[in-house]
Amino acid sequence: MSLAFWCLFAGGLLPVAIVFIAKADPDLDVHNPRDVHLTQTGLRKRAYGAHLNGLEAFPLFAAAVITATLRGVPQTWLDIAACIWLVVRVLYTAAYLADLAPIRPVLWALSVLVSATIFLLPD
């Protein structure tokens, strides 16, 4: 499996891993597990926000990697771009968790730009 596909796999799991921070709440009601997020604060609330943002960012990246693969984009360039996207998303998630709000928009925009770039990589 290519490095880009491993990045795809890791990028899909990142939001799932982060939500565990939000779900590790003693007030979690397993009958209504989403209700707890309405009252959370601090790290748990930020973890849930990072989780949601990760779910929003992933489809564009996944479509870009799959499309580039089908188009026959040189694997080296695709692997590099996919690794950059994953590093940026990990940094974005870390910034979200650490409450570094001023740098989050830059990292978010960079991850969108990298996904778009993957679509535009030459065959």
Using one digit for the tens of pLDDT, what is the confidence trace for 43-65? Answer: 999 999 999 999 999 999 999 99
What is the average per-residue pLDDT within 69-88?
Answer: 97
CB atoms inside a 10 Å sphere around CB 30: 7
Pull the structure tokens for residue 36: 């707890």
104-120 vs 42-71: helix crossing angle, rounded to 10: 10
pLDDT of residue 110 exceeding 90: yes
Q: Which two tokens stand for residue 78?
A: 């695709």
Decide which of 1.20.120.550, 3.40.50.300, 3.40.630.10, 3.40.190.150 is the CATH code for 3-120. Answer: 1.20.120.550
Task: Answer yes or no: are the C-beta atoms of 86 and 17 closer than 8 Å.
Answer: no
Which pLDDT score, from 0 to 100, does residue 33 have?
A: 81
- Domain ranges within the chain, ordered by starting residue: 3-120
**Per-residue pLDDT for 28 more than 80?**
no
Please state the pTM of the whole predicted model: 0.94
Q: How many Å apart are CA 4 and CA 2, to the nearest integer?
A: 5
